[in-house]
Amino acid sequence: MIRFFAHFLFILAAWTVVIKYLFPMAYAVQHDLPIGTYLYVDLWPAVHILLGWSLLHWQRYTFEFAIGVSVAEIAIIVSKFALFLSAPEWTIWRTNWFVNKIFVLSCFVMLLTWLLVNMKRLPRGLRGGSPTAS
């Protein structure tokens, strides 16, 4: 399962880069607008790549890092969904954002659930080492 989550995170990071950077830049260029017109810059793709790498190369901090990122992502996305769904605006930009966030939310709900279910079998803190749970 660890490999599944790591690769899911890598795919999410790539997809997020396309949705948040490449597509908006291409659209702006196509319509003769400044390249940054529709960009929404954040560092979540980098965090997802770092977490995916950490899952594949388990370190003593990986369990806590994965729990922290999962809880933060879930809290942020759920609160953004609550705000968005109270008055949805279904433009191409918001629809792309919404679909992306559904996949990100599902990834982190599954990851958090798996981590909590397998907590006793996973190395944590100073113990480090490789995970024994699959």
pLDDT in tens, 26-78: 999 999 999 999 888 889 999 999 999 999 999 889 999 999 999 999 999 99
Whether this prediction's pTM lies above 0.85 is answered by yes
Task: Tokens 């759920």: give the residue.
Answer: 78
Tokens describing residue 14: 């790539």
Q: What residues contact residue 122 under an 8 Å CB cut-off, 6+ apart?
A: 63, 115, 131, 132, 133
pLDDT band at 126 (very low <50, low <70, confident <90, very high): very low
pLDDT in tens, 3-33: 999 999 999 999 999 999 999 999 999 999 9
Query: Three-state DSSP class for 33?
Result: coil
Q: Is the pLDDT of residue 128 over 90?
A: no
- Which DSSP letter does residue 43 get? S
Cα–Cα nearest to 22, from 10, 34, 14, 31: 14
pLDDT in tens, 77-108: 999 999 999 999 999 889 989 999 999 999 99
